[in-house]
Amino acid sequence: MFTSLVKQAEEMGLLDLSSVAIDATKVEAYEKSVPRKNIIQNGNAADWGIKSDTNGNPIKWFGYKLHIGTDVRSGLPIAMKVTPANYSDSSVALELVEKCCANTQSKIVYFLMDAGYDHREIYSVIRDKYHAQAIIALNKRGAKQPPEGFDWDGTPICSARYRMVYWGSYQGVNKFRCPHIMGKCDCPFGSAWCSDSNYGMVVKTKVKDDPRLFSSPHRGSANWQKQYNLRTYSERCFSRFKENLGLEDGLNVRKITKVETHAYLCAITMIAAVIAINQDSSTRSSAA
């Protein structure tokens, strides 16, 4: 029923699907908490989880995680999965990506995720298998320096140690120009030190060479940041689930299968309501 409603919403033009945000939220178990040593690790039992809130503060709970792929235009879920709370967000990412593509017909261009999903395999599979771009914040994981010749966001550093200027992307190739020529710095060596051309030195990076560091659009660009900012639509979806549809306060079932059923009923209610409102609006417009 959930998949059918997603397809109906897409056919009605309620979903954009060019960008899909993927994230996870905590779901506290209705059953009594038990010590971790007594939990049977079979992928079905409630477990202890820890996750940072929007301010970076750790939150610990006993229960499950709800993983959702959200259409950023409508804020509607298009793919879901419930796991024990100890599952990492990144371990479910590719399964959600697959479900998002299977549940819809439109081409998904961008998959938006936070730094918890920063794994090379996710970038590569999204690019190679689904021909889409992963927009994921970098997790430096204790790295003290960026890759040699580049800044943290994949911007090339010129021989005078200035950040080069992003000059567009075409078919997975990013172009960067001399910052002195572009008026972004006053290089003591001038542009002639790096290039004899009046155009200045040019450096190109290819996404296929390092899908994690390089992306199209470039990580340091306004377009990349604009896409990444859309990721907050997943938070709005979670908020509706919890505040309006009783995902937590109304949860009075035990075991992961029943919790997942409860979550799907929340999603079905949300999508069905949006479809009904838009169908009613269309009917009234036709009658007028």
> Does 24 or 195 have the greater pLDDT score?
24
Looking at 5-14, 103-112, 276-285, which range is the least confident one?
A: 276-285
Is the domain defined by 2-138+228-287 classed in CATH 3.30.420.10?
yes
Residue 285 has pLDDT above 70, yes or no: no
For the chain, the DSSP string reads -HHHHHHHHHHTT----SEEEEEEEEEE-SSPP--GGGS--SSSS-EEEEEE-TTS-EEEEEEEEEEEEEETTT--EEEEEEEETTS-SHHHHHHHHHHHHHH--SPP-EEEE-GGG--HHHHHHHHHTT--EEEE----TT-SSPPTTB-TTS-BB-TTSPBPEEEEEETTEEEEE-TTTTTS---TT-STTT-SSTT--EEEEEGGG-TTT--SS-TTSHHHHHHHHGGGHHHHHHHHHHHTS-SSTT----SHHHHHHHHHHHHHHHHHHHHHHHHHHHHHHHH-
Task: Say what the pTM is.
Answer: 0.89
Span 125-147, pLDDT tens digits:
999 999 999 999 998 876 778 88
Residue 178 confidence class, pLDDT cut points 50, 70, 90: very high
Domain ranges in the chain?
2-138+228-287, 147-211
Span 204-263, pLDDT tens digits:
999 999 999 999 999 989 999 999 999 988 888 999 998 888 887 767 777 889 999 999
> Does 180 or 31 have the greater pLDDT score?
180
Q: So what's the pLDDT on residue 284?
A: 60
Question: How large is the average pLDDT for residues 63-71?
Answer: 94
User: Among 273, 275, 245, which residue's Cα sits nearest to residue 66?
Assistant: 245
